[in-house]
Structure 1
Amino acid sequence: MIHTFLKDYYLRPLRKTDLDGPYSSWFSDQTITKYSSHGKFFKNENYFLSFYENLNREDQVVLAIFHTLDGHIGNLSLQDISWINRTAEFAIIIGNQNHQNKGVSYEASKYILEHGFNKLNLNKIYCGTSDQNIGMQRLALKLGMKEEGRRVDHLFLEGSYHDVLMYYILAKDWKT
């Protein structure tokens, strides 16, 4: 499965060979992980290999984001899929900063939400982000998500506690 979007971008399932590229370095880059819990505990190659080997579980969908010249630039996922509740958590990381703020996250995210609602028959897709992460907040709203609530002092970043804003979208509200 390869899904092309924008000019020069495409999505495909993560491959083992992707682990040899820049992928693992994103999670120790303090700029990229500034608003998340990644980057606090540095991971070795065995961590990423274990992650990869567990991708075939049916409680997650992980896609790699590629640029035709720059290669693997990010990932997006539906994770913690609950088949009883018909819910999943949405997550995205753009590890190559040259591809941030270019619409890549939005276009890729539309595809995985469409997949979640129309292929997996999910009813609700949700995400959470630091109250400092304006980019992710804007992405959630642009995707049609609504703010569901706030987890007060839920995330410790750069020496202080921050709220986590929770967003969601229901299948009936998803517009393709």
Structure 2
Amino acid sequence: MVYDDINKTMTTERLLLRLFTKADAETVTRLCNDYNIYKSTLTLPYPYTLDCALSWIEHHSENFNADKLYEFAICDRETGDLYGAIALSNQQRYDNGELSYWVGQPFWGKGYATEAAKAILDFAFDVRKYHKVYARHFASNPASGQVIQKIGMKKEGVLVDHVKKEDRYEDLIYYGIVRNKMKE
């Protein structure tokens, strides 16, 4: 991963991670207005409208500059096509943050989430000097768990029936990785 602090971008073998712009709102709306993404995410609304996308994108740059939350568009490095989003919160008090992501259904199974998540871990540990990064996923979304495991995170526990989604309770499975344990 190569991080460009001036442009706030990261490049990997196949991807460009960059800040969202208002010009991305229509594509974000198209990708997120998908029941299969909604049912696998904690806070994404459904149906997902253009207003949802615009209000979500509106504060990205401000949050990034305030070191609160880093939200990147996952894009094809060559074409610029938008595949999804990846974010890292910044709990400065604890030197840690949560990794979260979504990828549009047409791009599932191609390794984009894993590649972007590896870049975010490098960003967290090497650029932002975090001590720990954690992630969580619904038990009903094992594919997300596979991404988390592929980047070296270890399962830390399960919060049973922790959230309610569509009138049913979901277990949240938590994973984490500490900077000095990354190579283990």
TM-score by length of 2: 0.82
How do residues 55-94 of structure 1 correspond to structure 2 at under 5 angstroms? Answer: 55=60, 56-57=62-63, 58-67=67-76, 68-69=78-79, 71-79=81-89, 81-94=90-103
Residues 33 and 49 in structure 2, CA contact (< 8 A), matched pair in contact too = no
Give the deviation of 1:60 after TM superposition. 0.6
8 Å Cα contact 2:12/2:119 also seen in 1: no
Q: Does 1:3 align with 2:10?
A: yes
Paired with 1:109 and 1:138, the residues of 2 have a C-alpha distance of 12
Select the structure that is richer in helix. Answer: 2
Tell me, in whole angstroms, the C-alpha distance in 2 between the residues paired with 1:172 and 1:11: 25
Query: How far off its partner does 1:69 sit?
Result: 4.4
Counterpart code for 2:21: R
TM-score where L is the length of structure 1: 0.86
2:133 is the alignment partner of 1:125: yes
Please list the CA deviations of residues 86-112 of structure 1 after superposition, one character each: whole Å capped at 9, or x if unmatched: 0111001101x2321111111111111
The answer to whether the aligner puts 1:28 opposite 2:37 as a matched pair is no
Distance 1:98 1:167, change over 3 A: same
Query: Is the Cα contact below 8 Å between 2:73 and 2:85 reproduced in 1?
Result: yes
Taking a change above 3 Å as real, the CA distance of residues 153 and 22 of structure 1, as seen in their structure-2 partners, is same
Deviation at 1:37?
A: 2.8
| RMSD of aligned Cα (Å) | 2.1
1:30 and 1:39 in contact (8 A); partners too = no
Q: What residue is the counterpart of 2:57 in the other structure?
A: 52
What secondary structure is seen at the aligned counterpart in 2 of 1:31?
helix
8 Å CA contact 2:135, 2:174 repeated in 1: yes
Structure 2 residue aligned with 1:102: 110
* Per-residue deviation, 1:171: 0.9
**1:28–1:38: 8 Å Cα contact kept in structure 2?**
no
Give the CA deviation at 1:45: 3.5
Q: Does 1:13 align with 2:19?
A: yes
Judging changes above 3 Å, is the alpha-carbon distance between structure 1 residues 82 and 160 closer, same or farther for their aligned structure 2 residues? Answer: same
**Alpha carbons of 1:4 and 1:82: their partners in 2 closer, same or farther (altered >3 Å)?**
closer
Change (3 A) 1:41 1:103: closer
Whether the aligned pair in 2 keeps the contact of 1:131 and 1:163 (CA below 8 Å) is yes
**1:134 partner letter:** P
Q: Which runs of 5+ in 1 are unaligned?
A: none
